[in-house]
Each structure stands twice: as structure tokens, then as C-alpha cells.
Amino acid sequence: MDKVTPYRTRTGIEIGKYYQRPSNGRNISFDMEIIQMSLLNDMGSIRREKLKSVGLVASVSAFLFLVIYLTKG
């Protein structure tokens, strides 16, 4: 990445010394995405995410139940 060199005025003030470029958006966590969706009032997306979570929990539970049932005997 290119380092931003601060602009120094005649009085010695450095403008942009602590500037950090914004991230490219690839490192957004799941929680950050849910918070953003709730702030934007995107209830359809929130419902889809909840359904995905419920489906994942149900499928993992069914798989574990099946494994326990088959290995019990």
C-alpha cells in the first residue's frame, strides 16, 4: 500500500499525518453485517439470516442424532 505523506504547512502543522485508508469491505464480520441490516431496516435479509441459522442448527442436530442412534447398538 502507498503510505500517505502528510502535508506540512509553513507553520509546521502536518495535515493528514494520521490518515488511514478505509478498508475495502472484505473484512466485515457477520455481526457487523447484521447490525448494518438492522439499521437499514432490511427485515427480509434479517429473516433470511435467521432462517439460515435455524436450518444449520437443525441439520447439525439431526446429523448428531443420527450418528448417536446408529452407533448406539
Q: What would the 3-class secondary structure string for 8-70 be? A: ECCCCCEECCCCCCCCCCCCCCHHHHHHHHHHCCCHHHHHHHHHHHHHHHHHHHHHHHHHHHH
State residue 44's pLDDT score: 84
Provide the percentage of residues in the chain whose pLDDT is more than 90: 32
2 — pLDDT class (breaks 50, 70, 90): low
Domain ranges of the chain: 7-72
50-69 pLDDT, tens digit per residue, is: 899 999 999 999 999 999 99
- Cα separations in angstroms, 27 against 20, 30, 35, 46, 53: 16, 10, 15, 20, 21
Provide the percentage of residues in the chain whose pLDDT is more than 70: 89
State residue 25's pLDDT score: 63
